[in-house]
Structure 1
Amino acid sequence: MKEYRLSRQITLVLKGYPRLSETFIAQEIRALELRGMKITLASLRHPTDKATHPIHDEIQAQVLYLPEYLHQEPLRVLKGWWQARRMPGYRTCLQRWWQDFRRDSSRNRLRRLGQALVLAAELPPGTEQLYAHFLHTPASVTRYCALLTGLPWSASAHAKDIWTSDTWELREKLAELAWLATCTGANHDYLQGLAADPSRVHLVYHGLDLRRFSAPPGVPQLRDARQSQDPVRLISVGRAVAKKGYDDLLNALAALPADCAWQLTHIGGGPLLSRLKQQAEALGIGERIQWLGALPQTEVLESYRASDLFVLASKIVDDGDRDGLPNVLMEAQSQGLCCLSTTISGIPELIEHQHTGWLVGPADSPALSDALQQLLQNPALRTRLGQAGQQRVQQVFDVERGIDQLAALFDLPEAPADTSTAAAQHCGCDH
């Protein structure tokens, strides 16, 4: 295999690592490593998932776990402050932090400063740039560390971190960072409108590593919900949180005709799982639903291939939180699986209604129920939409497109000719 030099050394700040729900971040880390980047991961929290994905075993980056709560490691925080106070940007950092604290006098704001002090003191020698995934807490720690050290910093913005953050904070971060990548056109337009220099904001789709989600042989859909002996198999993958709209989905399923034959598999953890299970029982559909919890990617892929229809009822919740462009939709479509979702954020950038999938308005259980009935009872329609969605993912949302953009932003050299081949051999192509 062709040798290629390590061209950049960065520290990537993220909220937690590893996380089953953030495969797009792991995918990006590994792809940048294959382009020659040396990465240290600075995690604000320790992992809580019991399993990991295969890609986590391939990532070579070392992980620096910062103090999750300052009172748990007071000596480490004190040592960080002792070293940081001699740094050239110490006074400027404190001034900026105090301005922020006056507008957001929370314990979290104090914690971000403490984590930044530790990060600045413990940065690996040779670090050239700081990079944050998510524009809220991780970017705050990254920003304070950059002020302390004088290093340039950049960030990727996704969903909750944009739409639940105050505009004053977004404006100030956008004014200081070198560049920002965001994953949907809706995000891109909004953030460009807040930036003093809109050219710093770039649209970079996460995309999907099609080597890990190789397409199965095309098989026409056969199950029809009008045939009770073989129910149509629904699947949804996502954390049990309000913005995923699982309460709307359960209401929509309960409104289907009693003789409509379906069963649902849900994959994902989350704080609302117990409440959703209770809701399903109260609606009389509990026996038709299998709750599997969080699973590694290999098992998720097997579940996609055993299913007939993917559904995700994403919506905007009271605090403004919403999905961006859920990678699970790309994953499902890569397997030729017809997808039913909603019209929020970047989802219509992936799913073209009645052409590459089916869309309804958010928080509209009656419309969702009508769409479900049409798709459950029409295997030929599911086949057509699933095949068209698969082609669109392959043509537009290949991860290499986004990595090319990020590599250019990081000023990396062009990828070696055999990088993608080596990655495909390494991952086995059948995950």
Structure 2
Amino acid sequence: MTADTPKLAVLVKGWPRLSETFIAQELVALEEAGHAFDIWSLRHPTDVKRHPLHERLQAKVRYLPEYLYQEPERVWRGRAAARALPGYAEAYRVWRADLARDRTPNRIRRFGQACVLAAELPASTRGLYAHFMHTPSSVARYAAIMRGLPWSFSAHAKDIWTSPEWEKAEKLRADSHGAAFGATCTAIGAEHLRALADDPNRVDLVYHGLDLTRFPAPPERGARADGEPFKMLSVGRLVEKKGFDRLIAAFALLPAGLDWRWVHIGGGGDKTALEAQARAAGVAGRITWRGACDQPEVIAAMRAADLFVLPSRIAADGDRDGLPNVLMEAASQRLPILSTPVSAIPEFITDGVHGSLTPDTPEALARAIAALATEPDRTADMAEAARARLLSDFTMPPGIAQLSRRLTALCDAG
């Protein structure tokens, strides 16, 4: 089976995305393990930059109609071809049952995209694998039913905690055309999904881990020179669950005698509001908003910083982080870490051992920053412990080997 006749179809919400390095890392590793696949993206890219990882991938990238009205001829052609498939009637029945509980344009779009996918999949395809349990998995599930193929998914964070229970349960049951297997990157996520599955063995815990070949050896970190400000760095999208509004509020509470700077890397829709908050708090002059950056730029920023801060919290709609890869990336550069005990973060960081975990209130964040800024020996010890934990328990190869076995079995059964 060559790259021109892939056995596997990989569905993603958008490709490429700077904020989803963990997906690019995984797919490159799967190619290197011998898997041939096409990438089917539900959306076109919006990021201007690309990570070097994206350039390493050999897979063909195909884009489904992002909105059905944009490609009407392709959609109607796909629907006509899909209706001739043996599993179309059953897929339509399943979709109608889903639509009765979720009467949204997105649900309609999922079925249209699934028809196009089912019609255009190469004849060599033996299985489907979707990143994220919500929209991409729905498209994969409907198309798999149409084509009579097995499908699988990898679940992460928002897709687990904001999807309705009925939908997750049905995607995890064999009698409802559920996934052959699901992988998820946190123990807390795996426990939740196993409780919904007809068979807990259907769900694997597969930490993303870190491909350390992509990272330089950590820099030697000495004491800050006299007159040098305390340099903090955060990497993450400007959205509610990342907690940057509370971090900015914390900055306004820092001791007047602490000279600090904060650099933020990442895009996101809340930037205007956060910039306004910083101006109102009188701290805007100490903040640099760098926007979206590629991985070499992120690594360089980590090497120049004194503290990595990720004030994650649970958003109003239940969305939350899983185990952000940026924490492992910071650990790879021996950069001290301040975060919160939200979701799976304590699976990597034990408070006081590998970093500092504090409640996500401005007052608690301010106290933690002020303490860490004046305890260089303690923070250095924690950073060294975090790097040791990364090297012992969170490298990429074990998870890729496990996922590779699952995907091979999936395609062999298809």
Classify the TM-score, shorter chain: over 0.9
- The one-letter amino acid paired with 1:73 is E
Counterpart in 1 of 2:412? Answer: none
Equivalent residue for 1:360?
Answer: 358
Question: 8 Å contact 2:6–2:38 — kept in the other structure?
Answer: no
Structure 1 residues 227-246: aligned runs within 5 Å: 229-246=227-244
Residue 223 of structure 1 is matched in structure 2 by: 224
The alpha-carbon deviation at position 223 of structure 1 amounts to 2.2
2:384 to 387, 391, 401: 387
Measure the CA separation in 2 of the matches of 1:147 and 1:9: 17
By how many angstroms is 1:128 displaced? 1.1
- The answer for the alignment partner of 1:50 in structure 2 is 48
Could you tell me which residue of structure 2 aligns to residue 420 of structure 1? none
How many residues align? The count is 404
Contact kept, 8 Å, 1:314 with 1:342, in 2: the verdict is yes
> Quick check: 1:16 aligned with 2:4?
no
**Structure 1 partner of 2:57:** 59
1:131 to 129, 132, 150: 129
Matched residue SS, 2:117: helix
Q: Is 1:396 the counterpart of 2:397 in the alignment?
A: no
Runs of 4+ in 1 over 6 A off after TM superposition: 4-8
Q: Could you tell me which of 87, 90, 93 is aligned with 1:92?
A: 90
Q: For residues 35 and 9 of structure 2, what CA distance do their matches in structure 1 show?
A: 10
**Deviation string for 1:375-427 (max 9, x for gaps)?**
01111122111111111111111011110110121237xxxxxxxxxxxxxxx
Sort the Cα spacing of 1:58 and 1:404 in 2 relative to 1 into closer, same or farther, 3 A: same
| Residues 353, 382 of structure 2: 8 Å contact kept | yes
The secondary structure found in structure 1 opposite 2:398 is helix
Question: 2:155 matched to which residue of 1?
Answer: 157
CA distance in 2, matches of 1:332, 1:401: 21
Equivalent residue runs for 1:236-385 within 5 Å: 236-361=234-359, 363-385=360-382
| Cα distance per residue 1:15-72 (max 9 Å; x no partner) | 0000000000000000000011001000000000000000111100101100000000
- Matched residue, 1:416: none
Q: In structure 1, what is the Cα distance between the partners aligned to 2:122 and 2:355?
A: 46
* Paired residues of 2:2 and 2:36 also in contact (CA < 8 A): no
Identity %: 51
What is the DSSP-based 3-state SS (H/G/I as helix, E as strand, rest coil) of the residue aligned with 2:258? coil
Counterpart secondary structure, 1:21: helix
Separation in 2 of the partners of 1:254 and 1:85?
A: 61
Deviation at 1:136, TM superposition (A): 0.4
CA distances 1:209-263 after superposition (whole Å, capped 9, x unpaired): 100113224333x128xx6x21011000000000000001111111011111110
SS at match of 2:103: coil
How far did 1:5 drift?
7.9
Q: Secondary structure at the match of 1:22?
A: helix
Contact in 2 for aligned 1:8/1:36 (Cα 8 Å): no
Alignment of 1:33-44 (within 5 A): 33-44=31-42
1:211 to 207, 213, 217: 213
Alpha-carbon distance in 1 for matches of 2:391, 2:140: 34
Would the aligned equivalents of 2:38 and 2:61 in 1 still touch at CA under 8 Å?
A: yes
How big is the shift at 1:349?
0.4
Distance 1:231 1:151 in 2: 58
Maintained 8 Å contact 1:5/1:36 = no
> TM-score, normalized by length of structure 2?
0.96
Q: State the Cα distance separating 1:364 from its structure 2 match.
A: 1.6
2:384 aligned partner, one-letter code: Q
Distance 2:322 2:32 in 1: 26
CA gap 1:191/1:247 in 2 versus in 1, 3 angstroms: same
Q: What is the rounded CA distance, in whole Å, between the counterparts of 2:45 and 2:219 in structure 1?
A: 36
User: Hey, what's the Cα distance between the residues in 1 that align with 2:407 and 2:291?
Assistant: 37
Q: What is residue 186 of structure 2 aligned with on the other side?
A: 184
Letter matched to residue 192 of structure 1: R
- What CA distance in whole angstroms lies between the structure 1 residues aligned with 2:370 and 2:389? 25
Q: Distance in 2 between matches of 1:55 and 1:191?
A: 30
TM-score under structure 1 normalisation?
Answer: 0.92
Unaligned runs of 5+ in 1: 413-431
Q: C-alpha offsets along residues 338-379 of structure 1, whole Å, 9 cap, x if unaligned?
A: 110010111000101111111012x32211111111101111
Tell me if the contact between 1:265 and 1:292 (Cα under 8 Å) persists in the aligned partners. Answer: yes
For the Cα contact (< 8 Å) 1:134–1:157, is it kept in 2?
A: yes
Q: Any idea what the Cα deviations from partners look like across 1:77-130, whole Å, max 9, x if unmatched?
A: 000011000101010000000000000011000000000000001112301110
Q: Which one-letter code corresponds to 1:205 in the other structure?
A: Y
2:404 is aligned to 407
Deviation at 1:8, TM superposition (A): 6.7
Of the structure 1 ranges 7-16 and 180-189, higher mean CA displacement relative to structure 2 is found in 7-16
Look up the SS of the partner of 2:214 in the other structure.
coil
Whole-Å Cα distance in 2 between the matches of residues 216 and 73 of structure 1? 49
Code of the aligned partner of 1:223: R
Assess if the C-alpha contact under 8 Å between 1:215 and 1:336 holds in 2: no
Structure 2 unaligned residues grouped into runs of 5+: 410-414
